[in-house]
Amino acid sequence: MERVYNFSAGPTGLPLEVLEKAQKELVVYGASGMSVMEMSHRSKMYEEIYSGAECLIRELMAIPENYKVLFLQGGASTQFAMVPLNLFKNKKADYVVTGQFAKKAMQEAKKFGTVNIVASSEDKTYNYIPELDPSKFDKDADYFHITLNNTIFGTRYRKLPNTGSVPLVTDMSSNILSEVSETTDVSKYGLIYAGAQKNIGPAGVTLVIIRDDLITEPLDFCPTMLSYKVQAENGSMYNTPPTYGIYIAKLVFEWLKGLGGVSAIQKINEEKAAMLYDYLDNSNLFKATVTGDARSIMNVTFVTGNPDLDKKFVKEAESNGIVNIKGHRSVGGMRASIYNPMPLGGIKALVSFMKKFEVENK
């Protein structure tokens, strides 16, 4: 069977070049005589893979020297707990609730201290990014948490709040490595985390980028594995890291670097998103659920306004090689997740199928 265009929110498509390279190296990696999956994480060969992955992500994101890069497990959802467990000193934090993941992060932090909800967009099914009123920021907060791109609802921040000396923490799971902008400037943050399965590689790896001064003793009941200090002191190898996932991430980073880096993929991503939104804005059948500059360039949500027609669209799309385009149950309709590996050809195929569907279902 031919490969399909996979619009899944995550895990999702990987670049074909990466899969083919991994396939070539699957059984015997270089001069090791074994698969990467079979290697000791303490071996010299694997250390090179690990440090290669770290160097590449540092280069791609221009990560300053005073930040550590960790490759952990447990997904972004484990970070919802690790952040408060490690950063709580006054046991207070500010959260902006812009979606389901943001809310989950906030609820997790609440288990360990006091949470101040600075703003929420729950009143309109999270279809916008709320204006933030600095008078609502807590000056004694240990950190200020935002979800930079809201995967389920298709919104993203375009500017960052000025939190002064309170470190900004972000969940960048669904738009890391997608653009070079103020909002992806590492130096603006105290801590960035991202589950790998959207723009980095396979599920099972979680990237954490943390400023050195925030690596301190966690709350005293914090499990060892959830301590940034322990993880940083051990180079993410306190225990066995997700070795194969990190290897694939390295191949993805090499692929991205080969394309010209993040600014090069940004141009493609913006072109992809513009093509899709332009069509949606001019369609008589489909309508984007997010308007204005909060529109995500990674997750594009849209509806026909008729749930039965939505269902028909999703089904017919699938038989045309356009898969995983069903929206999240909380929004309904459709969602096209168009992460870095989705080629422009995938958007062209989607738009031309939508045009055809529009004509047939007038």
Burial of 339 (0-12, 13-18, 19+ CB in 10 A): buried
Q: Is 244 in the site for ligand PLP (CB under 6 A)?
A: no
Pairwise CA distance, residues 235 & 148, whole Å? 26
N-to-C CA span, the chain? 32
How many Å apart are CA 231 and CA 82, to the nearest integer? 11
Candidates 74-82, 123-131, 184-192, 283-291: pick the segment binding ligand PLP (CB under 6 A).
Answer: 74-82
**What are 270's two structure tokens?**
């913006």
Structure tokens at 252: 């993805």
Which residue, chain included where needed, has tokens 């009123």? 133
Instruction: Indicate whether 227 belongs to the interface with ligand PLP (CB under 6 A).
Output: no
How many alpha carbons lie under 13 Å from residue 249 in its C-beta half-sphere? 35
Q: How far is the CB of 76 from ligand PLP (least distance, A)?
A: 4
- Name residues whose C-beta falls within 8 Å of residue 282's C-beta, 6 or more positions apart in sequence: none
Using CB under 6 A, which of the segments 122-130, 171-179, 229-237, 325-333 binds ligand PLP?
Answer: 171-179
Is residue 242 within the footprint of ligand PLP (CB under 6 A)?
Answer: no
Nearest residue to ligand PLP, scored by beta-carbon proximity: 75
Q: Residue 245 Cβ, how far from ligand PLP at the closest point, in Å? A: 12
Q: Residue 323 is inside which H or E element, if any? A: strand 322-323
Q: How many CB atoms lie within 10 A of CB 108?
A: 19
What backbone phi and psi angles, to 5 degrees, belong to 299? -130, 115
Q: How far is the CB of 155 from ligand PLP (least distance, A)?
A: 11
Task: Tell me the two tokens of residue 99.
Answer: 């979606």
147 binds ligand PLP (CB under 6 A): yes
Stretch that binds ligand PLP, among 26-34, 154-162, 170-178, 237-245 (CB under 6 A): 170-178
Measured from the CB of residue 143, what is the shortest distance to ligand PLP in angstroms? 16
The answer to whether 218 touches 86, Cβ cutoff 8 Å, is: yes
Residue 13 binds ligand PLP, judged by CB under 6 A? no
C-beta of 163 vs 174, nearer to ligand PLP: 174
Sign of torsion, CA 334 337 342 345? positive
By beta-carbon proximity to ligand PLP, the closer residue of 78 and 86 is: 78
Among 13, 75, 241, 346, binds ligand PLP (CB under 6 A): 75
Q: Does position 337 bind ligand PLP by CB under 6 A?
A: no
CB of 65 to ligand PLP, least distance (A): 27
Nearer residue to ligand PLP within complex by CB, 94 or 313: 94
Residue 105 CB, shortest distance to ligand PLP, in Å, is 8
Q: Which residues bind ligand PLP (CB under 6 A)?
A: 10, 75-77, 101, 147, 151, 171, 173-174, 195, 198
